[in-house]
Amino acid sequence: MEQLSFVQDKEIEKYLGIKTELIRVIDVPLKELRKEIMNKKGLVIVQGGDLDINRFAVENKQVDILLSPEKNTRKDLMFSRRSGLNQVLCKLAAKNGVAIGFDFSYLLHSSDKQRARILGRMKQNVKFCKKYKVKMVFSSFAKNKYELRSEDFLKVFARILGKF
């Protein structure tokens, strides 16, 4: 289980004009996911990637955010991307109030070729979310203070992906 935590630095918060919050992302196998969600209090963020985990997360009303559903290792097809979302999952997410999270930190730590693939998958997910009126969350999900990004930067990131 991965716990995202770092010491909050007030100087950097003031410099970037942001407010940081320590969160915990649930990143466990599917068998243990139900137990983790039941034990979690507050904001429930599930790390996506595998189609089964993505499906379970959007079907569950206790999940608040499905983070990075595009984190799968399957190769894209010739004319379509395997972005981790489809129309069925988006309809379920909208019905159950699950937001889709876009993680800038994941993009930041990828290689050049992989970054292009991830951006394409993220753009496709944004199109699905807009079409089916699913809430979207754009954040840095930083693991240390050097990965933090300002609110304006994240707005530009969202605009690049096609939210606006």
Pairs from 47-51 (Cβ < 8 Å, separation ≥ 24): 47/2, 47/71, 48/84, 49/84, 51/84
Q: Among candidates 149, 159, 139, 144, which has minimal Cα distance to 64?
A: 139
Mean pLDDT over each residue of the chain, to the nearest integer:
83
**pLDDT band at residue 153, thresholds of 50, 70 and 90?**
confident
Cα torsion angle, 130, 19, 147, 63, sign? negative
What is the CATH code of the structural domain delimited by 10-14+21-161?
Answer: 3.20.20.140
Q: What percent of the chain has pLDDT over 90?
A: 26
Q: Which residue has the higher pLDDT, 9 or 154?
A: 154
How far apart CA 47 and CA 110 sit, in angstroms, is 17
Domain range annotation of the chain: 10-14+21-161
Q: Which residue has the higher pLDDT, 75 or 19?
A: 75
Pairs from 55-61 (Cβ < 8 Å, separation ≥ 24): 55/89, 55/92, 56/30, 57/33, 57/98, 58/89, 58/92, 58/93, 58/96, 58/98, 59/92, 59/96, 60/96, 60/98, 61/96, 61/97, 61/98
Whether 6 shows a pLDDT value over 60: the answer reads no
Q: Strand, coil or helix: what is 156?
A: helix
**pLDDT band at residue 5, thresholds of 50, 70 and 90?**
very low
Q: Average pLDDT, stretch 14-43?
A: 75
Q: Average pLDDT, stretch 5-33?
A: 68
Q: Average pLDDT, stretch 130-147?
A: 87
Give the predicted TM-score (pTM) of the model.
Answer: 0.82
Q: Average pLDDT, stretch 97-116?
A: 90
